[in-house]
Structure 1
Amino acid sequence: MVFLFPTTGTVIGFLTICLGISWVYLAVRKRRIIKLREKFFERNGGFMLQKELLGMDKSTNQTQIFSAEELKKATENFHESRILGQGGQGTVYKGILSNNRIVAIKKAKIMDTGQVEEFINELVVLSQINHRNVVKLLGCCLETEVPLLVYEFVINGTLFDHIHVQHNSLVLPWETRLKVATESANAFSYLHSAASIPIIHRDIKSANILLDDNYAAKIADFGTSRLIPMDQKQITTLVRGTLGYLDPEYFRTSHLTEKSDVYSFGVVLLELLTGKTALSFRRPESERHLVTNFESAIQENRLLEILDQQILTSENIEQLKEVADLAMRCVKIRGEERPTMKDVAAELEDLRSLGTNNAPKSHHHKHIVGSTNNDQPWTV
């Protein structure tokens, strides 16, 4: 039997053909991936984002572009064990980048056009903010099936959890609550008055205030925020927000102003004072809405009863009354009767600096105990 061995030329020719086929396959595959990423980029608002960022100051916009592979690796392919929280816009995962930096990665849900606009809006808004009490946007990835936003990781969760979640055994003391309120107010005052373009958050609530390892406040979730042109005091828009925190005047007129944020922040102050959620259908109907429940307590001289007994002491009672008075002015039915966020921040700063034992007796205080408010409480 004669065995025919392939010649060197035949082997080389065969390998060349195999290499050629592999090269063609890889080239076609690469083109498909590129086209798919381009498709995702367009669908996820990439061109919309480019248009928005075109006129922005490049020195303040340092948003990093992450690859899909990098963020998959950072989250173990978005494993459920990495989930930090879930909401209407998507899911937030804990990620660890290649440089060992821990980050929070928001992965949007499959979105329609309106939701894409919200997601891009959050990116545009956050890219213009540089404040120590606002969660920092690090970057984004738009080449995936759904867009991804990358933020600094804030370790201590939400203010809502610390006040309301039963399994949280550590009671947030009043001094810390006042600190968080003051820092949050300063951040919102910055958004309204000191940002390059005024920003209305539009969804202020305790769940959107994060706490870092030193219990410093970090404002989050700017998906529904709005930039306000310098020559306008208000804008007309579809009503967005969270029941229990929603400004009744905005709800009624669709006119969004900075005072809409003030109302929502007033509700957060009431949460800090009472330990109660803004809205609960588990409570009796008369106590369902925290604002109206608190108003009733004030009118009936029951302020001390409605305050969170875990934080109430003989040393801080005057300070608590001052903050209660401020909160009630923030939730006035008419926006023009509410203080500005700048004024709110200043009052809280004064209360903190004066200390518990020297809390001032404000001239507004007479409106708290035994007061009668002609404004009718509004409920959703």
Structure 2
Amino acid sequence: MKQKLFTRNGGNIKKIKLFTSKELEKATDNYHGNRVLGEGGQGTGYKRMLLEGRIVAIKKFKIADESKIEEFINEVILLSQISHRNVVQLVGCCLETEVPLLVYEFVSNGYLFQYLHDQNEEFPFTWELRLLIAFEVSSVLTYLHSAASVPIYHRDIKSKNILLDEKFQVKLSDFGISRSIVVDQTRLTTQVKGPFGYLDPEYF
């Protein structure tokens, strides 16, 4: 069964560290509630330290239907091709479970959303910092659209998909519904995904 799931979940993916289900069960204390970082529409995130001492975020998908599996495989493939300081780093994945698991670098300061909507007097979210974040987001999108070997359109840019590290530098995340575009491809027919207000103008 593990081999069957491994193949279905994209077991031919290269350049990515593969974790066993036992390794990640142990790392999360069998997905205990006190390890939860947060929950979203796609799944649950867990914070944990791996055996080599690295702190990571483990993303467990909620539903293992075919569309979610495709998004999972898409995210793994895209992140394995991207090397940019403002894109969250994919450490590895687990492909032998019913619900696929992704292992990312841990980004300590959470989502941009919380700083925009939950103002904290102890930490004023200054306009200088906002402009820096806007600049870094636009820079990484310019890279993905124009400088990457194969252009990548994120399709879901919003404050909940922009993480901030300990220095409040941007880490763009959640590439599940992203799409690669072959440079010489003049037409693209596909289902439009992502909230309309956040859709990449180039892709639209």
TM above 0.5, yes or no, is: yes
Tell me if the contact between 1:162 and 1:168 (Cα under 8 Å) persists in the aligned partners.
Answer: no
Is 1:183 the counterpart of 2:136? The answer is: yes
* Partner Cα separation in structure 2 for residue 130 and residue 151 of structure 1: 14
Letter in 1 for 2:193: R
* Partner Cα separation in structure 2 for residue 146 and residue 168 of structure 1: 40
Structure 2 counterpart of 1:164: 117
5+ unaligned residues in a row in structure 2: which ranges?
Answer: none
Between the two structures, name the one with larger relative contact order (CA 8 Å, sep ≥ 6).
2
Query: For residues 235-274 of structure 1, what are the structure 2 equivalents within 5 Å?
Result: 235-242=188-195, 244-246=197-199, 258=202, 260=204
Task: Please provide the CA RMSD for this pair.
Answer: 1.9
200, 204, 209: which one aligns with 2:157:
204
Tell me if the contact between 1:228 and 1:234 (Cα under 8 Å) persists in the aligned partners.
Answer: no
Deviation of 1:171 (Å): 2.6
Residue deviations 1:283-329, cap 9 Å, x none? xxxxxxxxxxxxxxxxxxxxxxxxxxxxxxxxxxxxxxxxxxxxxxx
Is 1:69 the counterpart of 2:22? The answer is: yes
* Partner Cα separation in structure 2 for residue 215 and residue 102 of structure 1: 18
Deviation of 1:169 (Å): 5.2
107, 116, 119: which one aligns with 2:60:
107
* Partner Cα separation in structure 2 for residue 243 and residue 169 of structure 1: 34
Percent of pairs identical after alignment? Answer: 57
Tell me if the contact between 1:106 and 1:150 (Cα under 8 Å) persists in the aligned partners.
Answer: yes
Bigger helix fraction: 1
Structure 2 counterpart of 1:266: none
* Partner Cα separation in structure 1 for residue 7 and residue 102 of structure 2: 16
Assess, with a 3 A threshold, how the Cα gap between structure 1 residues 134 and 77 changes in structure 2: closer, same or farther.
same
140, 146, 149: which one aligns with 1:193:
146
Tell me if the contact between 1:163 and 1:171 (Cα under 8 Å) persists in the aligned partners.
Answer: no
Structure 1 counterpart of 2:3: 38
Tell me if the contact between 2:155 and 2:198 (Cα under 8 Å) persists in the aligned partners.
Answer: no
5+ unaligned residues in a row in structure 1: which ranges?
Answer: 1-35, 54-60, 248-256, 261-380
Return the TM-score normalized by structure 2.
0.92
Tell me if the contact between 2:161 and 2:172 (Cα under 8 Å) persists in the aligned partners.
Answer: yes
Bigger strand fraction: 2
Letter in 1 for 2:126: P
- Equivalenced residue count is 204
